[in-house]
Structure 1
Amino acid sequence: MTIELELDNRIGTTSGLAGFWRKIRWDALLVFLTVIWGSTFLLVQNSIKLVEPFSFLSMRFTIATLALAIIFRKRLVRITRRELVTGSIIGVFVFAAFALQTVGLQFTTTSKAGFITGLYVPLVPIMAIFLLRHFPAPLIWLGVFFSTLGMGLLSINDNFNLDFGIGELLVLGCAVACALHIVTVSKFAPKADAINLTTVQIGVTALLSLASVFISGEPLVIAPAPAWGSALFMGLIATAFALSVMNRAQQFISSTRATLIYALEPAWAGLFGVVIAGETLSFPAMMGCLLIFAGMVVSGIGESIKSK
């Protein structure tokens, strides 16, 4: 939190050169977050070889909840009933996203999982039509087309046979849940304290993860040290710290600008998968990744043009 607090102490107007450099600093922090998030795909995949998926999720989100509760304890004292209710609703989608992604990573590569998860970017404007009555700009439909075509190519191997199994299907469900999460946040967040809402979401995710441990019949065992190390990193850095920076950064930069930066996450996930884990992608799959990335960027630009 040191970097965030240092920047926080320098808050002033966002006009002129000072405002420009402030935005650049927050941009850089968000890019750093995408590196962290990109690395988590490989971390999760390795961790669930040591501990069951829901057990790992309960470890991660319990740590994150405790961290947020300690850091923002004074704000949580003033939490409202509305924040508890709406945060719980949103938390269901957060849990669904992470549960589907974590289980899916048992059956697919980190590279594929990263890019399939990134499909939430073009999915958001489509869902916003039905849930928010917000109609997307025409350019967004081009982004949806690119992403859909990319999804098809990502499902083909070098022999041009279908290579889309249960892992890819689960991660696609994660992308849908991520999109629902973003849309519901847009619907409920304006009248709520962002930190309180976030803490409730993460807390609900922790509770649902713990409940899933018992429902799924996962064995209750003491996790090995490497799994706890991953859970600490994921809970403190990739969740508590990252969400705190996100909430603060988007006070200075637009959500569209932030979303375009977040689109770097699958690229980092793919890079970590190839360089560290030695994963390979078929040529059609590589073209699919590029099209999905293009779809995310085009969708973000389309939303930016509409908002002007």
Structure 2
Amino acid sequence: MANIPSWVYKLLIVLATIIWGFSFVVMKDVVAVLPPAWLLGMRFLFAGALLLVILRKRVMRFCSRKVVTYGFILGVLDFTAFWLQTVGLKHTTPGINAFLTATYCVLVPFAWWLIARKRPTVFNIVAAIVAVCGIWLVSVSSSGETLSIGFGEAMTLGCAVAFAAHIVAVSKFAQKCDALVLTVFQFIAEGALGIIFGAATETFPGIAAFTPEIIGQMLFLAVFASVVAFGIQNVSLAHVPPTQASLLLSLESVFGVVFSILLYGEQMTLRLVVGFVLIFAAIVISETLPLKEKLCRRKTTSS
């Protein structure tokens, strides 16, 4: 995969955000039946088992104590992020929850600076701020929602920190280990944590709750929203800087709204259009302006 240009990995990240955007619609019925920890546990344990079967020869070849340890760390970070997000959602509005979650766009460049000693450029910071403004317009409705930091908002901000840490950790670990094998152990760790946490703190709904429709939706979440989308993300983060990847991942909020418009009749408003434009502008700033600056420096040096 060394000969694959970076733009291919960036397109793959966008594909993952399309899948996750659609998963918001799929989750609508599932979260009404399964408590959060049980949902995460069953989703990721099945995804880990499926990926383990598919990649069994690869896992046997690249498995090591380091890969298992890194996978466990990723599983803890991702489970923590999802769980905090769900707790926050119970105590704040969906729009505020989505917006505060997406602030990981701003956190990633600084987290990467701490870990990799690569200082964020002015383009990284400006692009992240523009993206968050766009996400605010997309996520928070015009019905008078106000942002104040209470328990739900604090939990959601904690989720953003965990997501940012997960993105940075994947970027770091995937350069040292096989990304797909790393994903297998991430899923297994995350699924085990979900089952343990669910058994200790939540009530299992019972077998009768698993109707054919719920089973089909769970299969989508496990196969496409987990195996496919997370596999794409973890492989791509070994080849795309996390500061750029976090902005591309913010498209998840855009596609979530798009599918809501197409499938649930949500109205397209000027507010949404402006939000979409700002998010895409942030990606353009991140992708094109640094390249122009490099070209200008080369011309100045050569002259």
Assess same fold via TM > 0.5.
yes
User: Which residue in the other structure is 2:22 paired with?
Assistant: 39
CA shift, 1:137, in A, is 0.7
CA shift, 1:289, in A, is 6.2
CA shift, 1:275, in A, is 3.2
Instruction: Please say if 1:86 is aligned against 2:70.
Output: yes
Counterpart pick for 2:44 among 58, 61, 77:
61
Instruction: Please say if 1:175 is aligned against 2:165.
Output: no
- Cα separation, partners in 2 of 1:126 and 1:141, compared to 1, 3 Å: same
User: Which residue in the other structure is 1:124 paired with?
Assistant: 108
Unaligned runs of 5+ in 1: 1-10
Counterpart pick for 1:205 among 162, 167, 190:
190
CA shift, 1:184, in A, is 1.5
User: Which residue in the other structure is 1:77 paired with?
Assistant: 60
CA distance in structure 2 between the aligned counterparts of 1:121 and 1:193, rounded to whole angstroms: 25
Aligned length: 289
User: Which residue in the other structure is 1:234 paired with?
Assistant: 221
SS state at 1:190 partner: coil
CA shift, 1:115, in A, is 5.2
- Cα separation, partners in 2 of 1:261 and 1:76, compared to 1, 3 Å: same
CA distance in structure 1 between the aligned counterparts of 2:131 and 2:32, rounded to whole angstroms: 31
- Cα separation, partners in 2 of 1:28 and 1:295, compared to 1, 3 Å: closer
Provide, for residues 64-85 of structure 1, a one-character-per-residue CA deviation record: whole Å limited to 9, x for no partner.
Answer: 0111110111122241111111
Describe how 1:126-205 pairs up with structure 2 within 5 A: 126-147=110-131, 149-150=133-134, 158=142, 162=146, 170-205=155-190
Percent identity at matched positions?
32
CA distance in structure 2 between the aligned counterparts of 1:163 and 1:281, rounded to whole angstroms: 23
CA distance in structure 2 between the aligned counterparts of 1:187 and 1:151, rounded to whole angstroms: 27
SS state at 1:89 partner: helix
CA distance in structure 2 between the aligned counterparts of 1:302 and 1:100, rounded to whole angstroms: 35
CA distance in structure 2 between the aligned counterparts of 1:280 and 1:98, rounded to whole angstroms: 28
CA shift, 1:60, in A, is 0.8
SS state at 1:276 partner: helix
CA distance in structure 1 between the aligned counterparts of 2:246 and 2:27, rounded to whole angstroms: 23
> Which shows bigger deviation, 284-293 or 186-195?
284-293
Describe how 1:93-132 pairs up with structure 2 within 5 A: 93-104=77-88, 108-109=93-94, 116-132=100-116
Counterpart pick for 1:216 among 179, 188, 201:
201
> Which shows bigger deviation, 275-284 or 91-100?
275-284
User: Which residue in the other structure is 1:7 paired with?
Assistant: none
User: Which residue in the other structure is 2:261 paired with?
Assistant: 274
Unaligned runs of 5+ in 2: 296-303
CA shift, 1:90, in A, is 1.8
Contact 2:35 2:202 in 1 (8 A): no
CA distance in structure 1 between the aligned counterparts of 2:177 and 2:267, rounded to whole angstroms: 44
Contact 1:151 1:288 in 2 (8 A): yes
Provide, for residues 3-56 of structure 1, a one-character-per-residue CA deviation record: whole Å limited to 9, x for no partner.
Answer: xxxxxxxx7955xxxx79xx66x6665443322110112222321112222221
Which AA in structure 2 matches 1:244? G
Provide, for residues 248-269 of structure 1, a one-character-per-residue CA deviation record: whole Å limited to 9, x for no partner.
Answer: 5667x64477655434321110
SS state at 2:174 partner: helix
Contact 1:116 1:151 in 2 (8 A): no
TM-score, normalising length from structure 2?
0.77
